[in-house]
Amino acid sequence: MRDSFGVLKISLGEYTGKDFRAFIVKISGTEEKMFAEDIVMIGWSKADGLLDESLTKDDFREIVHKEYFPKEENKRRAGQVAGDLWRFIREMDVEHYVLVPTKKGFYIGKVAGPATYNEMRIFNDTAYQRKVQWLHNKEPITLEKTPEDVQKRLKSVQAVIDASDLYQEIEFAIRIS
């Protein structure tokens, strides 16, 4: 939908709280690569094989522990990373929204494809990727126009955070941008 000036307006209004899904993703790599390839990507690329649908959350944790934290008896850090990977690979889906934080605000897009693993990207730690249709003309929505609850969630230390409960606040930020 475009306004009277021809500016594309984004609306999440077709969603109710139960239907809307959004994830905040702290990307691995650069915004330039993200926009050039229309992807969102995360790190932990040495944890190969996670696209296997038979794997459980515990399997994810074991793979991450083996590849990244083998000297740690405690699997707490591996569990946190495995949770991020699980959300990116298993919970996120086509048509869900993805928010990518920046210093100035956040970018928003719609997931356009399944999680993939690109072996050629292991060296720069961006092997796990998803195709995304970037919205808002690939411009960030500024923090000044972002409700406090969304700002707090954007600052989380986790790499992939479910923000579906903030659908009204996210739509508000989009509408006033």
Distance CA 146, CA 18 (A): 22
Report the candidate in 92, 91, 97 with the shortest Cα–Cα distance to residue 109. 97
Q: Over the stretch 138-151, which tens digit does the pLDDT of each residue have?
A: 999 998 889 999 99
pTM: 0.87
Q: Which domains, and CATH codes, for the chain? A: 22-47+94-175 (3.10.590.10)
Q: Over the stretch 65-87, which tens digit does the pLDDT of each residue have?
A: 999 999 999 999 999 999 999 99
Structure tokens at 72: 């740690």
DSSP secondary structure code for residue 75 in this structure? -
Residues 6 or more apart whose CB falls under 8 angstroms from that of 137 comprise 8
Bridge-based pairing of strands 39-42 and 116-117 is unpaired
Distance CA 100, CA 31 (A): 9
Report the candidate in 102, 106, 128, 113 with the shortest Cα–Cα distance to residue 41. 128
DSSP H helices in the chain: 31-37, 57-68, 76-86, 148-154, 167-175
Distance CA 88, CA 161 (A): 9
Residue 115 has pLDDT above 60, yes or no: yes
Q: Over the stretch 25-53, which tens digit does the pLDDT of each residue have?
A: 999 878 888 999 999 999 999 999 999 99
Q: How far is CA 102 from the centre of its chain?
A: 13
Question: What pLDDT does residue 20 have?
Answer: 86
Amino acid at 116: T
Distance CA 45, CA 47 (A): 5
